[in-house]
Structure 1
Amino acid sequence: MKNIDIVIVGGGMVGLTTALAIRQQTSLSVAVIDSQELHSIKEQPHLRVSAINNASKQLFTNLCVWDDICAVRSQAYSNMHVWDKDGYGHLDFDQSDIPTGSGADNLGSIIENDIIRNALWHKAEQDSGIRFIPENITSMAVGGSEVFLSFAEQPPIMAKLVIGADGANSWVRKQLDMAMTFRDYDHHAVVATVECAQGHQNTAWQVFLPSGPLAFLPLYQQNTCSIVWSLPPEQAERIKALSTDDFNKEILAASDGKLGNIRLQSERVSFPLTMRLVRDFVKDRVVLIGDAAHTIHPLAGQGVNLGLVDAAALAQTLADICVQGKALNDAQALGHFSRWRKSDASEMIVAMESIKQGFSLQQTLPKFIRGLGMSLLNNVASLKKLLLKQAMGSRSDLPKLCKVQDPLA
């Protein structure tokens, strides 16, 4: 039987970031449990990408993985263009809208999930205090002083704290029957890679259609974008079933030709969109983070950024616990962490719902009124900066690892 201080269930972006952040700030031993192997990076972009905001970029920089990620491939974007398909309004952001003092030189970066995961994994492999267990857990028993984890083949593990970073359908969350608020958005996200004749112009594009938003996220090749198209389930199935030529025609019409002719470059896959929020991030000796604790609409690409801040916040909480000589499951400290992260997630859920419902409401308004509303917002610099500040993760209560580090500190 092996004794480990921290067991992280889930070796995705959030779980691996948590492991690295804990090890950077403490001497705690960490085990990462994940049976999914690394995917090799191919010339064709992977379908799942993330919009990494400035707070997450700073976190990766402080963990010494940002340069490793960018050395493979990434695409920064310095502009955002949002418009109403059936109206006249539009909303534009550029570098002049970046909040003063943020230290950011762009609005964000679009990076394939596999590239981020591989860089984090290789960095963790270099730390002798992080152990990888490529096997699924068969049972978990939470006791008064430890958590007992069993496996089909390898010897059991005793851990002082278990972190569930195992995604939206979290096995850890289900084992402890942790209460959760749940709402089906009644939309599916269709994702694919497309080639755009006029190039992405270092811009993130998003059009609000009567059926839902369609985003074009710029990839490392100037003429290539990753699309995320939010549609009712039956329309998502129809879009996936179209011939390549018919799909190209439909997405060209949906985008108003703003990126020129568009050609499909990959398969089309879809997944259901659901809002989830656990009522408490902590139960006994178990903590949930990332998609295991919350999922939101991909409207502004903030899901993974929320999870990465969870990782930094939990690592900071555990570092404080160690300094104070308390038990790793200290109720007061973990209770503060839970309230901190639930508040942030709740705010983001409400913000995404407000934007989504706002555009849904606009569909019932005359085109002139819709266009006037967006145009007014586009010309109010203070409101634009406020929106961008939230999207870039610029908050006063960010964990230390998500902020620029003072080299003299």
Structure 2
Amino acid sequence: MQKYDLLIVGGGMVGLSLALAVRKLTDLTVAIVEPHQPTELSDEAELRVSAINAASEQFLNNLGVWSAISQQRLQPYSHMHVWDKANIGALDFDINQLSDARNRENLGYIIENKVIRNALWQQAEANNGISLLTKEPLQNIAMGDHEVFASFASQMPVMAKLVVGADGANSWLRQQLDMAMAFRDYDNHALVATVDCQLGHQDTAWQVFLPEGPLAFLPLYNTNQCSIVWSTSPQEAERLQQLDVSEVSKALTAASDGKLGQVTLASDLQSYPLTMRLAHKFTKGRAVLIGDAAHTIHPLAGQGVNLGLQDAASLAQLISEHYHRDNGSQASANGPDSVNRAWHSDKMLNQYNRWRRAEALEMVTAMEAIKQSFTPQIAPIKLLRGLGMGLINHIPAVKQQMIKQAMGLSGDLPEISQ
């Protein structure tokens, strides 16, 4: 039997970042179960991208992977333009509007998911304390009072003191442990694609609220291309996918009010359903959930990946605090409080659950409020909404707070992300 301190199920961005953070802060041994290994980047932009805010950038920088990411493909953006198709309301955000910009030149970055994951994977491969178990997925998990036992179909089983589910929205670990979830079907699908923009993206993240849902144009490393995320009804998503390239391009150009010039579809138009998920509790026994395994939110503000990365940073910090407190106490081995001091203790897990579930619930609530405020309504409400956006656009203090929230510079941040 292979023995490790920490077992992570899922080697995506969040699981890999947790492994590297734990290794940076402690000398605990980590195993990651991930049968789907990274592949080479193609010449064309990947369809799945993430908006990485300042807090997540700092976290990735502290893990030693930011330089590898920045040497590949990424696009900073220093402006955001948000408007309502139903009226004249609009919001403009610029890094220069933030009084405490901390010497930053941009609001964030748009980065292909594969770029981030590949950099994290390479760093994990080079770390002697991290084992990448890539041959096959787990087949069974059993929970003891102090250990977790995980088995495969053919290879040697694994034992660890704590198991972490970082295996996405349809988490195998969460299902195996029957961890309860709150669900809400947004009754929306997200269409994703790469588009060519006649006027270029102008280092700006664009978002228009249409009657069916928001459409975002996210700037890519190619100055003439954007990645789109178009939230709409399942019926409209199906209709759009059946159109030819020229018809979809016309629809995108019209939806964007020509702000990017003529918009032309440059890739496949893929679709996936949008669902809010929130685990009733992020821990159970010797198991803990992070990232999409614990929560999924509407993509309209681009905060899903950032929320997951901060889960990883927060869990690593708490593990480190308890680990060093435990090891620094001469009574830790046999003292009456040793169980609560241990890095994998119920006390640590309860702290993580309170911290991160509160952050996730706040984000879920905020996304729901934004979504509802732009749901088609009667004319007087639409007018008030437009006037409200216009008013906010001229109140610097309110805009500064909104910019800080978008950059991840507000709230209870773990130290490794500061």
Which band: TM-score by shorter chain? Answer: over 0.9
Using the alignment, how far apart are the partners of 1:331 and 1:366 within structure 2?
48
Residue 386 of structure 1: how far off its partner (Å)? 1.3
Using the alignment, how far apart are the partners of 2:313 and 2:140 within structure 1?
28
Residue 368 of structure 1: how far off its partner (Å)? 4.4
Residue 310 of structure 1: how far off its partner (Å)? 0.3
Please tell me whether the aligned partners of residues 194 and 225 of structure 1 are also in contact (alpha carbons under 8 angstroms): yes
Residue 362 of structure 1: how far off its partner (Å)? 5.3
For residue 364 of structure 2, what is the aligned residue in structure 1?
A: 349
Residue 99 of structure 1: how far off its partner (Å)? 5.4
Residue 25 of structure 1: how far off its partner (Å)? 0.2
Secondary structure in 1 aligned to 2:194? strand
- The amino acid across from 1:257 in the alignment is G
For residue 290 of structure 2, what is the aligned residue in structure 1?
A: 289
Secondary structure in 2 aligned to 1:365? helix
Using the alignment, how far apart are the partners of 1:361 and 1:387 within structure 2?
24
For residue 407 of structure 1, what is the aligned residue in structure 2?
A: none
For residue 52 of structure 1, what is the aligned residue in structure 2?
A: 52
Please tell me whether the aligned partners of residues 181 and 278 of structure 1 are also in contact (alpha carbons under 8 angstroms): yes
Worse-matched range after superposition: 296-305 or 385-394: 385-394
Using the alignment, how far apart are the partners of 1:159 and 1:97 within structure 2?
48
Residue 385 of structure 1: how far off its partner (Å)? 1.2
- The amino acid across from 1:51 in the alignment is A
Using the alignment, how far apart are the partners of 1:304 and 1:351 within structure 2?
16
Please tell me whether the aligned partners of residues 195 and 262 of structure 1 are also in contact (alpha carbons under 8 angstroms): yes
Residue 276 of structure 1: how far off its partner (Å)? 0.6
- The amino acid across from 1:340 in the alignment is W
For residue 37 of structure 2, what is the aligned residue in structure 1?
A: 37
Give the 3 Å change call, closer, same or farther, for CA 182–400 of structure 1 in structure 2.
same
For residue 71 of structure 1, what is the aligned residue in structure 2?
A: 71
Please tell me whether the aligned partners of residues 74 and 110 of structure 2 are also in contact (alpha carbons under 8 angstroms): yes
Give the 3 Å change call, closer, same or farther, for CA 363–345 of structure 1 in structure 2.
farther
For residue 181 of structure 1, what is the aligned residue in structure 2?
A: 182
For residue 193 of structure 1, what is the aligned residue in structure 2?
A: 194
1:227 aligns with 2:228: yes
Secondary structure in 2 aligned to 1:72? coil
Q: Equivalences for 1:61-100 in 2 at 5 Å? A: 61-98=61-98, 100=100
Give the 3 Å change call, closer, same or farther, for CA 368–142 of structure 1 in structure 2.
closer
Give the 3 Å change call, closer, same or farther, for CA 367–285 of structure 1 in structure 2.
closer
Give the 3 Å change call, closer, same or farther, for CA 170–84 of structure 1 in structure 2.
same
Q: Equivalences for 1:376-391 in 2 at 5 Å? A: 376-391=391-406
Residue 381 of structure 1: how far off its partner (Å)? 1.0
Unpaired runs of 5+ in structure 2? 327-340
- The amino acid across from 1:173 in the alignment is R
For residue 301 of structure 1, what is the aligned residue in structure 2?
A: 302
Residue 95 of structure 1: how far off its partner (Å)? 1.3
What's the TM-score, normalizing by structure 1? Answer: 0.96
Using the alignment, how far apart are the partners of 1:169 and 1:219 within structure 2?
28
- The amino acid across from 1:56 in the alignment is S
Please tell me whether the aligned partners of residues 16 and 120 of structure 1 are also in contact (alpha carbons under 8 angstroms): yes
Residue 396 of structure 1: how far off its partner (Å)? 4.8
Q: Equivalences for 1:229-244 in 2 at 5 Å? A: 229-244=230-245
Secondary structure in 2 aligned to 1:141? strand
Using the alignment, how far apart are the partners of 2:152 and 2:214 within structure 1?
43
The alignment-based identity, stated in percent, is 55
For residue 406 of structure 1, what is the aligned residue in structure 2?
A: none
Give the 3 Å change call, closer, same or farther, for CA 101–260 of structure 1 in structure 2.
closer
Secondary structure in 2 aligned to 1:307? helix
Residue 100 of structure 1: how far off its partner (Å)? 1.0
For residue 256 of structure 2, what is the aligned residue in structure 1?
A: 255
Using the alignment, how far apart are the partners of 1:97 and 1:303 within structure 2?
25
Deviations 1:106-140 (A, max 9, x none): 11000000000000000111100000001200000
For residue 164 of structure 1, what is the aligned residue in structure 2?
A: 165
- The amino acid across from 2:76 in the alignment is A
Secondary structure in 2 aligned to 1:360? coil
For residue 28 of structure 1, what is the aligned residue in structure 2?
A: 28
Using the alignment, how far apart are the partners of 1:357 and 1:262 within structure 2?
28
For residue 142 of structure 1, what is the aligned residue in structure 2?
A: 143
Residue 367 of structure 1: how far off its partner (Å)? 5.6
Worse-matched range after superposition: 222-231 or 319-328: 319-328
Secondary structure in 2 aligned to 1:187? strand
Using the alignment, how far apart are the partners of 1:242 and 1:154 within structure 2?
48
For residue 217 of structure 1, what is the aligned residue in structure 2?
A: 218
Residue 101 of structure 1: how far off its partner (Å)? 5.5
Please tell me whether the aligned partners of residues 321 and 343 of structure 2 are also in contact (alpha carbons under 8 angstroms): no
Please tell me whether the aligned partners of residues 98 and 107 of structure 1 are also in contact (alpha carbons under 8 angstroms): no
Using the alignment, how far apart are the partners of 1:214 and 1:363 within structure 2?
21
- The amino acid across from 1:268 in the alignment is L
What's the TM-score, normalizing by structure 2? Answer: 0.94
- The amino acid across from 2:51 in the alignment is A
Residue 387 of structure 1: how far off its partner (Å)? 1.3
Residue 389 of structure 1: how far off its partner (Å)? 1.2
Give the 3 Å change call, closer, same or farther, for CA 364–31 of structure 1 in structure 2.
farther
Please tell me whether the aligned partners of residues 88 and 367 of structure 1 are also in contact (alpha carbons under 8 angstroms): no
- The amino acid across from 1:246 in the alignment is E
Residue 105 of structure 1: how far off its partner (Å)? 2.3
Residue 277 of structure 1: how far off its partner (Å)? 0.6
Secondary structure in 1 aligned to 2:83? strand
Deviations 1:76-103 (A, max 9, x none): 0000000111211110000123351545
Using the alignment, how far apart are the partners of 2:99 and 2:280 within structure 1?
32
Using the alignment, how far apart are the partners of 1:6 and 1:366 within structure 2?
52
Using the alignment, how far apart are the partners of 1:237 and 1:274 within structure 2?
17
Q: Equivalences for 1:262-341 in 2 at 5 Å? A: 262-325=263-326, 326-341=341-356
Please tell me whether the aligned partners of residues 99 and 388 of structure 1 are also in contact (alpha carbons under 8 angstroms): no
Give the 3 Å change call, closer, same or farther, for CA 207–101 of structure 1 in structure 2.
closer
